[in-house]
Structure 1
Amino acid sequence: MNETILLDPRRWWALVVVLAATLMSIIDSSIVNVAIPSIQLELHTNTAQIQLVVVGYILAYAVGLVTGGRLGDMFGRKRMFQLGMLVFVLASLFCGLAPGPVILIFSRVIQGFGSALMVPQVISIIQVSFSPREKPVAFSLYGAVVGFASVFGQILGGILIGGNFLDFGWRNVFLVNVPIGVLALVASVPLVRESRVEGTKKLDLIGVGLLTLSLVLLTYPLSTGEDAGWPLWSFICLALAIPLFVAFVRYEQRLTLRSGDPLLPISLFIDRRFTLGLITALTFYGANAAFFFHNDYFYTGWA
Structure 2
Amino acid sequence: MEKARDTNVLAGVLWMATTGFLFVGVTAIVKHLGDAVPAAQAAFLRYVLGLVFLVPMIRPILRARLTRRQLGLFGMRGVGHTLAVILWFYAMTQISIAEVTAMNYLSPVYVTLGAALFLGERLRWRRVAAVIAALVGALVILRPGIREVDDGHLAMLATAVLFAAGYLIAKQLSGEVSATVIVGMLSVTVTIGLFPFALAVWVPVSGVELAWLFGVACLATAGHYTMTRAFAAAPVSVTQPVTFLQLIWATALGALVFGEAVDAWVLAGGGVIIGSVSFLAWREAMARGKAAAVATPLPR
TM-score (norm: length of structure 1)? 0.36
TM-score (norm: length of structure 2)? 0.36
RCO (CA 8 Å, sep 6+): is it higher in 1 or 2?
2
Q: Which has the larger radius of gyration?
A: 1
